[in-house]
Chains A and B, each alone.
Chain A
Amino acid sequence: MLILNRKEGESIIIGDNVEIRILEIQDGKIKIGIEAPKEITILRKEVYDSVVEENKNALSSEEDVLKFLSQK
Chain B
Amino acid sequence: MKRVEKMKILTKYFGEIEILDDAIINFPGGLLGFEDSKDFVLIDMPGNSHFKFLQDIHKSYVSFVMINPWDFFENYDIELSDIELEKIRVTSLKDDNFSIYNVVTLGKTFDLSSANLIAPVVINNNEKLGRQIIVDNPKYTTKHPLLQEGLGA
CB closest residue in chain B, given A37? B83
**Interface size counted on chain B using CB atoms at 8 A:** 38
A58 touching B104, Cβ below 8 Å: yes
A59 touching B48, Cβ below 8 Å: no
Q: What does DSSP make chain B's interface, helix, strand, loop or mixed?
A: loop
B64 touching A72, Cβ below 8 Å: no
Pick the contact of A65: B32, B34, B106, B136 (CB < 8 A). B106
Is A23 interfacial (CB-CB < 8 Å)?
no
Given contacts A47-B134, A69-B48, contact A61 B64 (CB under 8 A): no
Given contacts A51-B118, A65-B13, A72-B50, contact A58 B64 (CB under 8 A): yes
Chain B residues numbered 109-134 whose CB sits less than 8 Å from any CB in chain A: 110, 116, 118-119, 132, 134
Which chain B residues have a beta carbon within 8 Å of chain A's beta carbons? 13, 31-34, 45-48, 50-51, 61-65, 81, 83-84, 87, 103-108, 110, 116, 118-119, 132, 134, 136, 141-143, 151-152
Q: Give the complex CA separation of A54 and B120 in angstroms.
A: 12
Pick the contact of B103: A50, A54, A65, A69 (CB < 8 A). A54
Known pairs A51-B132, A52-B33, A55-B64; list 17 more (Cβ under 8 Å): A43-B134, A50-B118, A51-B116, A51-B142, A54-B116, A54-B143, A55-B34, A57-B105, A58-B103, A58-B116, A59-B62, A61-B65, A66-B13, A66-B45, A69-B51, A70-B47, A71-B110
How many A-B contacts if CB must be within 8 Å? Answer: 83
The 5 closest A-B CB pairs, nearest first, are A52-B33, A54-B142, A61-B106, A51-B119, A58-B105
A-side contacts of B134, CB under 8 Å: 41, 43, 47-48, 51
B116 touching A72, Cβ below 8 Å: no
Q: Give the complex CA separation of A43 and B122 in angstroms.
A: 18
